């Protein structure tokens, strides 16, 4: 798809900071001229001792379209 929503996991804690904090977000402007403007609201947030552990917590949600739609709906974004 040339454009459309993009699901991503973004680190919100600084480099070397523990615990590692990550958020799951959907950039609905991906592939458009307005891509990258602003920060989309977080759909889910997690903290863990390492980045690998935090990624493991959010990755299954990011890969499941149904879960992403449910999170969008719960946040009133869809």
Write the pLDDT tens digit of every residue in 3-16: 667 888 999 999 98
- DSSP readout, 18-78? SSEEEEEEEETTTTSTTTTSS-PPEEEEEEESSHHHHHHHHHHHHH-HHHHHHHHHHTT--
**Confidence at residue 5, expressed as pLDDT on a 0 to 100 scale:** 77
Residue-level pLDDT at 34 = 67
pLDDT band at 1 (very low <50, low <70, confident <90, very high): very low
The predicted-structure confidence for 23-72, as pLDDT tens digits, reads as follows 999 887 766 666 667 788 899 999 999 999 999 999 999 999 899 889 98
What pLDDT is attached to residue 56?
Answer: 94
Give backbone dihedrals phi and psi of 50, rounded to 5 degrees, phi first.
-130, 160
């Amino acid at each position: 798809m040339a454009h459309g929503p993009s699901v991503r996991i973004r680190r919100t804690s600084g480099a070397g900071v523990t615990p590692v904090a990550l958020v799951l977000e959907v950039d609905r402007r991906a592939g458009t001229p307005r891509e990258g403007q602003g920060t989309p609201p977080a759909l889910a947030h997690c903290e863990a001792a390492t980045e690998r552990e935090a990624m493991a917590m959010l990755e299954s949600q990011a890969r499941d379209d149904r879960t992403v739609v449910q999170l969008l709906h719960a946040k009133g974004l869809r």
